[in-house]
Chains A and B, each alone.
Chain A
C-alpha cells in the first residue's frame, strides 16, 4: 500500500492529531482545498523549555535581542522568519553551541546560562542541521549508532575485547537502531557510506541519528530545505509520526509556509533578531507585523 498523503491531508492530520492512524490516499494532488477553518488548536500545558529575554551578540552584531518564548511538552513549535532573522542562532543557543550574552534558558524547570553542547545532548536535546552534518565517512548504520553513544556504557576494557558487556550492548543498541531504520524506511542503504547518498536520504539519515538519541526535545533546522514535493511529504509524515508515536516535542525552522502552517501547533516569528509574533499558525498568518516582515513595508 502506498502511503503518500497530500499536504491537505497532512494539514488535516496536524489539526486533528489522531494517533497512529494510517492515512489512506484520497483526492488528487492537484486539487487544492479551499481555505479551511482553523481546526481547534491542541492544548499543551507543561512548559518544557522557556527562553527568557535571550540576547546574543558577536562583537557589535546583535544576532538575537531579548527574545522570549516557550516550548511546551508534546507540541510542534515552528520558528520562522526571513533569512538572517536569527533562527539558527536561536537553536544554537538552545542546545548550548552558542551562549546567550544575556537572558536565560530554562529546560525542564532548570535554568542554565552556560552549557556545553554535549551536556544539552545528555539532557535530552537532539537536533538536525541546516546543511546536512552527517559523519560522511561512516555508513548509515554507524551514523545512527553514533547517535546511541550517550546510552552506551561498556568500558574500555570490554570494548578492547569486544566481548561480554560490550558485545551485548552493541547488539542491544543495534536492535533499537534497526527499529529506527525500519521506521524511516532506509533499510536498503544501511551499509552505504552516507557521503554517497542523495540529499533527501541524507536528511532522513540525519533525522534517524537524532531520533537514536531518544530526545525529549528535537530541534529540526530546515528539515525540508532543498527537497522536492514528495520528499517534503515524506519528511512531514515522519515528523508527525515522531511527534505522535514517541510524544517527542519538536521545534523546527522551516521556510515553506505551507508546511509550517500544516505541521505546527504554535509559531514564533523572528525578524532581525527580535520576536515579532507568537501564536497559532492561524493567528500568525494574519499578523500585520509578520506580513510586513515578509513582504516589506513602504517607507
Chain B
C-alpha cells in the first residue's frame, strides 16, 4: 500500500508542489530529446537511402566532435577546424561507400548492420589513436556559440536555461527544415527517395547509387557534427558519449526507421520520459534508471506496436 502510494501518488504531489522543478525537468528532457532526435535523424537519413541500419551513427557524432576539437588543439583556428571537420566527414562518407557499402551491396540487411559495428569499432580506435583518448572541452565560444545561462522566474521559482540549449534547439529546427526541403524539392532528394524505394529500379533509370550513398552519408556526417558540437558543449568530448548515442536506437523504434517526424517525436518522448522518470521515480529504486528506461519503453513498443508510431503495418507476402 505504502509502495503504491509512493509510486502513484507522491511523485504527482511533488510535481504540483514544485512546478518550477517540473518545468526545469521538462526543459532538460526537451533538450536531450532534441539531441536524441538529431542522432536518430542521422540514422533515418542513411536507412532511407541505403537500407543500412547504421549503428555507427552515434560514434560518428563523437568522432566528428573529436575531430573538430582535435584540430583546434593542434593550433588550427576554430572556423578552419570546423571546415576541416566537415572535410573529414566527407572523406569518411566516401571511404565508407568505397570500402564497406559497395562490396556489400545486395547483402542481407543484417550483414550490413553488423558491418556498421565494424565501422563503430574502427572509428573508436582511429579517433583515439589520432586525437588521444582523454576527455576534451568543446570549443563553444570560439565557434561563436552562446554560453552562460538565464534564470527565468516562473511559477514561484525559477528555471535555469543554458543559452547553448536554446541555440541547439534553434539549430536543430533549422537543420530539420533544411533537410526536409532538400529531400522534397531538389533533384538529389528525388533520386534519394527513388533509391530508398528500390535500388534496382533506381539504377535502371540512371541514378548513381554510389553518388547517392556518399551524399547521404555526408549529410548524416554533417548532422553528426552538429549534434556533436551541441552535445560536446554540455559535457566533455570523449568516447564515453557513445553510451548516450545508443539512446538513439529506442528513439528509432518509437518513431519508425524511415520517418523524420517520427525521429523528432520519438526523440522528444524519450527525452521527456527518461528525465521525468529519473527525477520523480528514480529514487524509489536507487537511481540511475536513465541508463535503461528508454530501452524498456522501446521494448514495450516492440511488443505492441513493432512498426513504430508512424510506420505503416507491413503486410508479409510469400
Binding site for B on A (CB under 8 A): 58, 88, 92, 97, 129-131, 133
Contacts and interface: CB of A to CB of B under 8 A. Distances in A.
A97 B318 CA distance: 9
B315 A88 contact: no
Contacts of B317: 88
A88 B318 CA distance: 8
B206 to A, nearest CB: 28
A130 B316 CA distance: 14
A130 B315 CA distance: 17
B315 A129 contact: no
Contacts of B316: 97
Interface string B289-307: 0000000000000000000
A92 B315 contact: no
5 contacts: A58-B315, A88-B317, A88-B318, A97-B318, A131-B318
Given A97-B316, A97-B318, 8 more contacts: A58-B315, A88-B317, A88-B318, A92-B318, A129-B318, A130-B318, A131-B318, A133-B318
A122 B315 CA distance: 24
Interface of B: 315-318
Nearest to B316: A97
Of the candidates B315, B316, B317, B318, the one having the most CB atoms from chain A within 10 angstroms of its own CB is B318
Nearest to B317: A88
A88 B315 CA distance: 14
A58 B316 CA distance: 11
A92 B318 CA distance: 8
A90 B83 CA distance: 60
A79 to B, nearest CB: 16
Contacts, number: 10
Nearest to A131: B318
A131 B156 CA distance: 68
A27 B316 CA distance: 46
B283 to A, nearest CB: 44
Contacts of A130: 318
Nearest to A133: B318
A133 B316 CA distance: 14
Contacts of B315: 58
A97 B316 CA distance: 9
Contacts of A97: 316, 318
Contacts of A129: 318
B10 to A, nearest CB: 44
Nearest to B312: A59
A88 B316 CA distance: 12
Nearest to A88: B318
B125 to A, nearest CB: 32
Nearest to A130: B318
A133 B317 CA distance: 12
A131 B317 CA distance: 10
A124 B318 CA distance: 20
Contacts of A133: 318
A92 to B, nearest CB: 7
Contacts of B318: 88, 92, 97, 129-131, 133
Task: List the 9 shortest-distance A-B pairs measured between CB atoms, nearest first.
Answer: A58-B315, A129-B318, A133-B318, A97-B318, A92-B318, A130-B318, A88-B318, A131-B318, A97-B316
A99 to B, nearest CB: 12
B209 to A, nearest CB: 24
Nearest to A92: B318
B83 to A, nearest CB: 49
Nearest to B315: A58
A132 B318 CA distance: 9
A130 B318 CA distance: 7
A98 to B, nearest CB: 9
Nearest to A221: B318
Nearest to A127: B318
Contacts of A58: 315
Contacts of A131: 318
A129 B318 CA distance: 7
B246 to A, nearest CB: 31
B311 to A, nearest CB: 14
Nearest to A61: B315
A97 B317 CA distance: 9
A268 to B, nearest CB: 20
A58 B317 CA distance: 12
B239 to A, nearest CB: 36
A55 to B, nearest CB: 16
A235 to B, nearest CB: 20
A209 to B, nearest CB: 15
A290 B318 CA distance: 26
A196 B316 CA distance: 26
B313 to A, nearest CB: 8
Nearest to A129: B318
A257 B191 CA distance: 41
A58 B312 CA distance: 12
Nearest to A58: B315
A131 B318 CA distance: 7
A137 to B, nearest CB: 12
B317 to A, nearest CB: 8
A220 to B, nearest CB: 13
Nearest to B318: A129
B202 to A, nearest CB: 22
A143 to B, nearest CB: 17
B309 to A, nearest CB: 18
A178 B209 CA distance: 47
Nearest to A89: B317
A39 B282 CA distance: 80
A251 to B, nearest CB: 16
